[in-house]
Amino acid sequence: MPLPSTPSAQPRLRVLTLNAALGPLDYAPRPGLDAPPGSIVRVPLGPREINGVVWEADRLPVKEVDASKLRRINAVYDAPPLPERLRRLAEWVSAYYYAPLSSVVRMAMPIPSALDGARTITEYRLTGSEPQRLTPQRAAALDALSDRQGVVREMAEWANVSDAVIRGLIKVGAMEAVDAPADTLPPRPDPAFAPAELSAEQTAAATRMIAAVEARRFAPFLLHGVTGSGKTETYLEAVAKAIEAGGQALILLPEIALTEPLERRIEARFGVRPVSWHSDLRQSQRRAAWRAIARGDAKLTVGARSALFLPYPDLRCVVVDEAHESSFKQEDGVLYHARDVAVMRAKLERFPIILATATPPLETQVQAERGTYEELVLPSRFGGAAMPDIRTIDLREHQPPSGQFLAQPLVEAIEDRLERGEQSLLFLNRRGYAPLTLCRHCGTRIECPNCSAWLVEHRLTRRLMCHHCGLTEPTPDACPECGETGTLVPCGPGVERIAEEAQQRFPGARLMLATSDTIGSPAKARALVDAVENHEIDILIGTQLVTKGYHFPELTLVGVVDADLALKGGDLRAGERSFQQIVQVAGRAGRGAKAGEVLIQTHQPEAPVIDALVRADAAGFYAAEIEARRDAAMPPFGRLAAIIVSGPDEREVAETAAYLGRNAPRDIEHFSVLGPAPAPLSLLRGRYRHRLLAHAARRVDLDSVLGNWLGRADVPPGVRLTVDIDPYSF
Ligand code: ADP
Ligand code: ZN
């Protein structure tokens, strides 16, 4: 009888390092140190130490080295292990999105300081005593930091000064140290604090969701309610049930600016604010939140898409609010879609997932029609408010004077509101002052040196900015090409320019500009909500940031400055996206006792999207869109994957893309490849980009087809391949 000869008979630990290039490595256990799968460990690597996660060896193949050569792990962190079902989710995400497992697991991991429960973070705050020597920088810091607390680096960043200025202020006693504890118990939401009295429609929907929470089963819901129907009140009852049962709940939002209005409503419903998770947290908050979530103490979390990967041990309900939003799709790093990953997490961990929206993403609508998702409809506004009346303003008939963008009928409607003391919202989905700056003398358009895109003028900061790579430079006086001065002219409108025009046309009105430049943090969003609710604002001018989530009862007019903008996208979702966007912004009008009106400025009132909006025919619009996708076998009826080839050398990129095109699989049924061609942004952050588009029927095993094709490809070192599954921009 042959002896069992597997080297794994000796104890070994497989450790997934957090570095995609290293991948998994084997180590020997350390006697007395228990490290089951999921444990977060510190291991030696050459002369260094790195962090990793212990994984099931049979799920993560490596070339095994002899057990006698293995080094021991150094330590197991004092942090809860990553739960098994989260490890399975990470594996699924890695396979489905064609991303390294290390990169996926990194999203579940905390900042390093959270791994060490014993260590305190020292933060600083102002003491109130003025330093004797007050330099302009010190004065600026004192001014900016009045209600802030953070580590030196964070304080320096907020105040826009160097670390040395902050350290100087500490030294002279103008700032003092405060210890931020690692573990704080978040206040417990009380499900019985103030339950909503639901309408009959809301009750019917809530009952279905509550039953699924109680049964602890996988159940995907599309909570489809018109704007103002009270979706939030309704799904919060399912959340309440999850908390009441002792479990955890998570609400995902598309933007951090929206966390503020929701957190207020949560406080009204449950008596306390939720734990929040987004990019604006400071280090100590991030650490405390991660640990509270991982221990199961955070019962209710509200967060941006990255909150989905955190190690909740006991999720009982997840809500994806504004489920149609494209910001749930992550466009760098791991290219995942949080809505789809949330559904998979719900399936693996067996809990209900609620996709809430007034304008379902087309994929979700199709699932509901197939019966795989249960659709819960709230057909009318809560409290009997009427839906707003939507009309178009044909810009071919009512052309605004040159250099202006508000047509006469819109101007009159705003004047009307000003007289009646009601509020208006002007919507234009374009940040900055003007999307293009042109030299009248030589015709040059100012472009980004790193991207195939124009620089956008931001007049508030007096800078030109690239919206793709973030480059900014002072707005020049002279044309960078011909050197003439006074010849640069702005072309087209951005929200800043609309605000300027509104200020000129309505000199007495109180205006507020709301874009990610002006309300980028929850604190600023709070100020916006207060200002509008206290009626300190007559006209709100904003980008898509103000199209959703807000409930302003005195706002009765919405003007869509340029409805043609979204129609121009040309990609698969252009029609769907513009429909959703306009329905959402229209939904801000007339939510209180007074009726709302929506005026859409357009050059093509006959376009199917605009026509459907005016006739309030959502069903007809969806039916036509679904039909068109079905005919073309486009998602969700077929699958797409974009393969982006990028690198600093244009010729090398083009050659690699051509080589991939020549070697594309040809004999697979219902699978085809388009391209290569330059990608829509053919230069991005200094890298040239070419693209191939793979199209497959749903029954094709796309993972393995792509694996066979791309896994074997010979790619030069300077060139990167990125696979974007179910791409949004292509
Ligand atoms: P949606 O998210 O569907 O657009 P909201 O949840 O913002 O709608 O609800 C619209 C308004 O109606 C909000 O002010 C909300 O507080 C109120 N509301 C909705 N349902 C109820 C309810 N059952 N009881 C009291 N107020 C409600
Ligand atoms: Zn750029």
3-state secondary structure labels for all residues of 461-491:
CCEEECCCCCCEEECCCECCCCCCECCEEEE
> In 10 A of CB 32, how many CB atoms?
5
Q: Residues of 601-637 as b/e, b for ≥16 C-beta within 10 angstroms?
A: bbebbebbbbebbeebebeebbeebbeebeeeebbbe
Predicted ipTM of the assembly: 0.97
pLDDT at residue 279, as a whole number? 83
Label residue 450 exposed, middle or buried (CB < 10 Å: 0-12, 13-18, 19+). Answer: middle
pLDDT of residue 8: 45
Compute the distance between CA of residue 713 and CA of residue 692 in angstroms, rounded to an integer: 14
pLDDT for the residue numbered 7: 45
pLDDT at 264 over 80: yes
Mean pLDDT of 402-422: 96
Residue 673 DSSP SS3: strand
Determine the 3-state secondary structure of 724 from DSSP: strand
Q: Which two tokens stand for residue 504?
A: 């000129």
Per-residue pLDDT tens over the stretch 524-567? 888 888 899 999 999 999 998 888 777 888 999 999 999 988 77
Helix (H, G, I), strand (E, B) or coil at 603: coil
Residue 94 has pLDDT above 70, yes or no: yes
Q: At what angle are helices 408-420 and 495-505 packed, to 10 degrees?
A: 60
Over range 609-616, report the average pLDDT: 93
Ligand sitting nearest the alpha carbon of 446: 2
Mean pLDDT (whole number) for 260-269: 92
- Name the band, by pLDDT with cuts 50, 70 and 90, for residue 570: low
Distance CA 42, CA 92 (A): 25
Q: Which of these, 235, 435, 428, 423, lies nearest to 321 by C-alpha position?
A: 235
pLDDT at 3: 47
Q: Using an 8 Å Cβ cutoff, are 50 and 42 in contact?
A: yes
Give the residue with greater pLDDT, 553 vs 623: 623
Q: How much is the pLDDT for 406?
A: 97
What distance in angstroms lies between residue 283's CA and the mean position of ligand 1's atoms?
34
pLDDT reading at 490 higher than 80:
yes
Instruction: With beta carbons less than 8 A apart as the criterion, state whether 64 and 7 touch.
Output: yes
Place of tokens 């991982």: 294
Whether 1 shows a pLDDT value over 60: the answer reads no
Between the CA of 439 and the centroid of ligand 2 the distance, in Å, is 20
Residue nearest to atom 15 of ligand 1 (CA): 230
Residue 479 assigned ligand-binding role: yes
Check residue 114 and give its pLDDT.
Answer: 67
State how far the Cα of 431 lies from the Cα of 429, in Å rounded to an integer. 7
Q: What is the DSSP letter of 546?
A: G
Pocket of ligand 1 (CB under 6 A): 196-199, 202, 225, 227-233, 382, 551
Lowest mean pLDDT segment, chosen from 29-33, 222-226, 571-575: 571-575
How far apart (Å, rounded) are the C-alpha atoms in residues 206 and 223? 10
- Output the CA torsion 27→28→33→35 (10° steps): 50
Instruction: Tell me the C-alpha distance between 195 and 325, whole Å.
Output: 28
Query: What's residue 592's pLDDT?
Result: 83
Specify the residue with its C-alpha closest to ligand 1, atom 22: 198
Spatial distance between the Cα atoms of 681 and 689, rounded to a whole number of angstroms: 7
Q: Which is higher by pLDDT, 501 or 121?
A: 501
Percentage of the residues of the chain whose pLDDT score is greater than 90:
68
For position 19, what pLDDT does the model report?
87
Pocket test for ligand 1, best of 382, 387, 551, 591 (most atoms within 8 A of CB): 382
Output the six-digit token pair for 219: 């159940």
Quick: pLDDT tens for 628-670. Answer: 999 989 999 999 999 999 999 999 999 999 999 999 998 899 9
What would the pLDDT profile of 688-708 be if each residue is shown by its tens digit?
A: 999 999 999 999 998 889 989
- The beta strands (E) that lie in 83-218 are given as 121-126, 175-180
Average pLDDT score over residue span 128-154: 83
- The pLDDT assigned to 730 comes to 56
* 128 pLDDT more than 90: no
Compute the distance between CA of residue 488 and CA of residue 25 in angstroms, rounded to an integer. Answer: 58
In this predicted structure, what is the pLDDT of residue 258?
81
User: What was the pLDDT predicted at 466?
Assistant: 95
pLDDT bin (cut points 50, 70, 90) of residue 2 is very low
Q: Which residues have C-beta within 8 Å of that of residue 613, sequence separation ≥ 6?
A: 390, 579, 582, 583, 586, 600
In this structure, of 45-59, 200-214, 274-288, 436-450, the range with the lowest mean pLDDT score is 274-288
CB 296 within 8 A of CB 318: no
pLDDT at 432 over 60: yes
CA distance 675 to 673: 7
